[in-house]
Each structure stands twice: as structure tokens, then as C-alpha cells.
């Protein structure tokens, strides 16, 4: 089945994209990558059958915790090679005819008349330019979260999840720019600053990439708004993605628990760390409408 208007959720990571992805994946028209796509990337029919099966409430009740949407980069390792862990954002010039053909072919093999809209979540580099070269009608939804909250989340995961603990020489995001290197050195190589720089690097890269596509194919969703207004946010996203109205989808959104982590960084980070991050990210935070008042010291 021909793939049309695939939906890509993009974000920096630790930004609430998983919660949003899980919600949107419950729309009955979507197809998504399950663990079957990860383990058996050359057998798209297995992923198609798994996703179709959990559309049945009885099957979902039994297997819903085992068959669920994810980034599943094993799929991309097989079909788009360096796509999973590039050292910079991927752009249109990185697409080869072979990759374009095989990515479209394997995704088309997953689609059905009922599950006709591919939904994919990616974090880190947006890869918008690369994906737009393969799918020129794609829809992109950016989940943005306060950079201080993202930095705090990175600081509270292990080194196998965040390679920033090894320093910028060993992470997957290329060398720091002179500006960012100077900021990191001035902070005495603070890991909090490095985590903030990662958010800024990815966010600015995403902003540059979005300028290359029609603005009508790009939607920005704030994680904080998703937590406050999940139904309204999901309705807006579904309308943007041109997904038809669905009573079952809206019922799921109404009943789904969303863990609100919007303010946790204020207690997980010291006042000094909050202040350093606020100063470092001030311009970017303001651009996204976040407050930048100094942290309160009790």
C-alpha cells in the first residue's frame, strides 16, 4: 500500500515524546513500529500483524504491555544505516536512491487500508531534511519541553542512556562549536551545562531544519500543554495530521494517565544548577515562551 503523509514525532529526547507517541498511536488509523520491527526488520508483515492484532481490545488486554510503539532503532539500522546514531543532523543530501527505495518499500509493506498512516517517533537529531527527501508530504510534530527539565532528566539517567557522562568527545552529537566549548569550559566542565547544551544543540538544529519545509506540515506541541490539556492537545495533533475523528481514540486519551513531570526539575536541581542553566539557555527558553526568573532560594 502506498505510503502517504507519514507522521513523524520529533524532539530532543527526555521531552515527553514517549507519552505523546503512546497516545497518538491509539488512533485506529495509525501504523507504528513495534518490537517486531526492531527484532525482525526484514519481516514487515510481522509488525503489521502485531499492530493490527492489538487493535482488538481483547488482544490488547493480553498483549498490550508487550506490543507497543517505540523508536525501535534496530529497524533503522537495517534500512537507513547511519540514521539511528548520526554525529550530526541528517539532511536531504544524505539520502541515496537505494535508501529512499528500501525505506519506502518496507514501510509500505506494513500499511493496511485500516492502518494506513505511518506514525514514527524519533529523538535527538530531528532528521527532518532526510525524511522530507524520502516523504515529501510528511507531517512533523515537534514535542518541546523546558530545556532545564530536559537537562535535569539527562542528569538522572545512567551512562548507557546518556553518553554525555563520558564528555562531548564520546557522545553521538559531534564536537562542540567554539561557542559551546567555551561555555562548557567556563563552567568547569559541568555536566549540567553539557546537558543543557545538548538540548540547545538539538533544538536549534531542529529549528533550522523546519525552515526547509512548508510551515503547514509542521506542528509544535509543548509537553507542559500536553500535561495540562491532553485531550485538546491530541485533538489538535490529530487534526493537523489529517487523522479522522475517532470516538475510541478520544476515550482513550480521556482515560489515559499522564504523569506530569513539568516541575520536577525545580526540586531535582540545586538553585545554583537552575541558575546556570537559566543563564545558558535564556534566549532559547524565551523563544519558546518559558519563564526565566531566578530560582527561589529558601
Query: What would the pLDDT profile of 202-216 be if each residue is shown by its tens digit?
Result: 999 999 999 999 999
Task: Report all structural domains of the chain as residue ranges with CATH numbers, in order of start.
Answer: 7-287 (3.40.50.300)
Task: Return the DSSP state at 9.
Answer: E
The pLDDT-based confidence of 123 (bands split at 50, 70, 90) is very high
**pLDDT higher than threshold 90 for residue 95:** yes
The pLDDT-based confidence of 293 (bands split at 50, 70, 90) is confident
Print burial letters for 49-63: b (CB count within 10 Å at least 16), e (below 16). ebbeebeeeeeeeee
Query: What would the pLDDT profile of 271-280 be if each residue is shown by its tens digit?
Result: 999 999 999 9
Question: What does residue 31 show for φ and ψ, rounded to 5 degrees?
Answer: -115, 145
Q: Which three cell numbers stand for residue 258?
A: 499522564
Alpha helices for 31-122 (secondary structure H): 35-39, 44-53, 57-63, 73-80, 97-108
**pLDDT higher than threshold 80 for residue 297:** no
**pLDDT higher than threshold 80 for residue 111:** yes
As beta bridge partners, residue 143 has 221
Query: What would the pLDDT profile of 126-152 be if each residue is shown by its tens digit?
Result: 999 999 999 999 999 999 999 999 999
Amino acid at each position: 500500500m502506498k505510503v502517504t503523509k507519514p507522521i513523524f514525532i520529533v524532539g530532543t529526547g527526555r521531552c515527553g515524546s514517549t507519552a505523546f507517541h503512546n497516545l497518538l498511536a491509539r488512533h485506529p488509523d495509525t501504523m507504528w513500529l513495534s518490537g517486531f520491527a526492531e527484532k525482525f526488520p526484514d519481516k514487515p508483515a510481522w509488525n503489521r500483524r502485531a499492530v493490527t492484532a492489538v487493535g482488538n481490545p481483547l488482544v490488547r488486554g493480553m498483549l498490550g504491555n508487550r506490543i507497543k510503539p517505540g523508536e525501535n532503532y534496530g529497524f533503522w539500522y537495517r534500512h537507513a544505516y547511519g540514521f539511528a546514531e548520526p554525529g550530526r543532523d541528517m539532511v536531504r543530501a544524505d539520502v541515496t536512491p537505494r535508501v529512499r527505495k528500501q525505506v519506502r518499500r518496507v514501510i509500505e509493506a506494513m500499511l493496511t487500508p485500516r492502518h494506513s498512516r505511518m506514525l514514527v517517533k524519533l529523538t535527538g537529531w530531528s532528521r527532518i531534511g532526510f525524511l522530507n527527501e524520502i516523504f515529501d508530504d510528511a507531517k512533523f510534530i515537534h514535542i518541546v519541553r523546558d530545556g532545564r527539565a530536559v537537562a535535569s532528566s539527562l542528569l538522572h539517567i545512567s551512562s548507557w542512556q546518556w553518553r554525555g557522562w563520558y564528555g562531548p568527545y564520546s557522545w553521538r552529537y559531534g564536537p562542540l562549536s567554539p561557542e559551546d566549548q567555551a561555555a562548557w569550559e567556563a563552567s568547569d566542565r559541568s555536566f549540567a551545562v553539557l546537558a543543557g547544551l545538548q538540548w540547545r544543540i538539538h533544538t536549534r538544529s531542529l529549528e533550522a531544519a523546519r525552515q526547509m519545509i512548508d510551515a503547514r506540515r509542521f506542528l509544535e506541541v509543548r509537553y507542559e500543554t500536553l500535561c495540562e490539556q491532553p485531550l485538546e492537545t491530541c485533538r489538535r495533533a490529530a487534526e493537523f495530521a489529517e487523522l479522522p475523528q475517532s470516538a475510541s481514540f478520544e476515550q482513550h486519551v480521556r482515560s489515559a494517565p499522564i504523569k506530569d513531570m513539568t516541575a520536577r526539575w525545580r526540586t531535582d536541581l540545586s538553585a545554583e544548577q537552575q541558575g546556570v542553566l537559566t543563564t545558558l539557555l535564556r534566549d532559547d527558553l524565551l523563544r519558546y515562551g518559558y519563564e526565566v526568573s531566578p530560582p527561589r532560594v529558601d
